[in-house]
């Protein structure tokens, strides 16, 4: 089956990493009338009807130029400007999370470019001073490096690994097999999702799965199997997806991030999703893919 989250990474661009310090090449591509640029105000962008607004570079405002790369014979850029522009029109400028439901069908091709741009914008917004001496930072390498003007220490973008997992119990493939889903206290009634959490220093991803599930629900996990991953620049994560098998099923809630958790059979998922009583993650998320892969096919409804 086709996993829903793969639509967001199906058509990656050539990031041209080796040319980020080639000033002549960068100037040539910026001046090319076919090049296109996404304007990011702080960490917000302005969508237009039917898609994302990509401007000719000649129409771009002054700001930090970020090379995204080449695709389809076009060089794609982002320009990061101050957040004032977005604040002046709050109804027109939206954060990346507000765009996620739109990344379906044809617009999904733009997701790798937009994720790249927004991930760097989030990084620039969060890194204003050198962590070594507190000096100011200067962008280099077409926006992919920040160098301290005082001590010269370079900073590079980072992605924080986070595990996201669907845990199952019972005889695999049987009608009694069930999966573990939970809900955050802030979510609307009926909304449930897979469990997730960040990997800690010195910890394998598999052990992070076991620890997070135990901390959030008290369930003990044994076998853990890698499924796939998804970039998630909200603000700077890489979601690494797993399936796991429970060796205990008693749910004990001790983590404030989980208001409720429980076991669902495939029939529970089908019936709840069809009635709308159970609201599952959106189709663009790896969480949805983990659930539907275990379920064995698409499910109706989503956030």
CB atoms within 10 A of CB 236: 18
pLDDT band at 276 (very low <50, low <70, confident <90, very high): very high
Percent of the chain at pLDDT exceeding 70:
99
Q: Exposed, middle or buried: residue 222 (CB in 10 Å: 0-12, 13-18, 19+)?
A: exposed
Q: How do residues 57-105 score in pLDDT, each as one tens digit?
A: 999 999 999 999 999 999 999 999 999 888 888 888 999 988 887 787 6
Among 54, 57, 61, 53, which residue's Cα sits nearest to residue 31? 57
Q: Which domains does the chain have, with CATH numbers?
A: 4-126 (no CATH), 129-158 (no CATH), 160-295 (3.90.79.10)
DSSP result, 100-143 = GGG-SGGGGGGHHHHHHHHHHHHHHHH--B-TTT--BEEEEGGG
Using DSSP bridges, classify how beta strands 47-48 and 44-45 pair: parallel, antiparallel or unpaired: unpaired
**pLDDT for the residue 1:** 66
Higher-pLDDT residue of 57, 282: 57
Instruction: Please state, in angstroms and rounded to a whole number, the distance separating the CA atoms of residues 140 and 157.
Output: 12
In whole angstroms, give the CA distance from residue 277 to residue 271: 8
Task: Return the closest-CA partner of residue 35 out of 16, 8, 59.
Answer: 59
Cα dihedral 55, 56, 62, 65 sign: positive
**Gap between the Cα atoms of 280 and 278, Å rounded:** 6
- Taking residues 218-225, what's their average pLDDT? 98
CA gap 299, 279 in Å, rounded: 10
pLDDT for res 227: 97
Per-residue model confidence (pLDDT) at position 82: 93
Dump pLDDT digits (tens) for 105-163.
668 889 999 999 999 999 999 999 999 999 999 999 999 999 999 999 999 999 999 99
Asked if 39 and 53 touch (Cβ cutoff 8 Å), the reply is yes
Given a cut of 90, whether residue 290 has pLDDT beyond it is yes
The pTM assigned to this predicted structure is 0.92
Return the bridge partners of 203, or none: none
> pLDDT tens-digit profile of 261-272?
999 999 999 999
Which letter does DSSP use for residue 58 in this model?
G
């Amino acid at each position: 089956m086709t996993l829903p989250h793969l639509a967001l990474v199906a058509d990656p661009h050539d990031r041209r990493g080796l040319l980020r310090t080639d000033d002549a090449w960068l100037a040539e591509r910026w001046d090319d009338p076919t090049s296109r640029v996404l304007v990011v105000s702080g960490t917000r962008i302005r969508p237009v009807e039917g898609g994302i607004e990509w401007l000719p570079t000649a129409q771009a405002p002054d700001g930090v130029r970020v090379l995204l790369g080449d695709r389809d014979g076009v060089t794609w850029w982002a320009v990061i400007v101050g957040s004032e522009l977005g604040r002046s029109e709050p109804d027109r400028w939206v954060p990346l999370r507000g765009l996620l439901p739109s990344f379906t069908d044809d617009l999904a091709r733009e997701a790798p470019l937009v994720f790249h741009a927004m991930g760097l914008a989030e990084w620039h917004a969060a890194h204003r001073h050198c962590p070594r001496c507190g000096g100011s930072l200067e962008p280099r390498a077409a926006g992919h490096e920040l160098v301290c003007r005082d001590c010269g220490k370079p900073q590079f973008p980072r992605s924080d690994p986070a595990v996201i997992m669907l845990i199952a119990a019972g005889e695999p493939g049987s009608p009694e097999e069930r999966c573990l889903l939970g809900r955050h206290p802030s979510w609307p009634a009926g909304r449930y999702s897979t469990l997730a959490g960040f990997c800690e220093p010195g910890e394998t991803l598999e052990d992070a799965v076991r620890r997070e599930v135990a901390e959030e629900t008290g369930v003990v996990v044994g076998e853990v199997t890698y499924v796939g991953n998804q970039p998630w620049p909200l603000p700077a994560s890489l979601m690494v997806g797993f399936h796991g098998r429970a060796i205990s099923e008693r749910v004990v809630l001790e983590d404030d991030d989980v208001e409720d958790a429980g076991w669902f059979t495939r029939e529970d998922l089908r019936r709840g999703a069809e009635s709308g009583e159970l609201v599952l993650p959106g189709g663009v998320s790896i969480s949805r893919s983990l659930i539907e892969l275990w379920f064995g096919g698409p499910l109706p409804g989503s956030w």
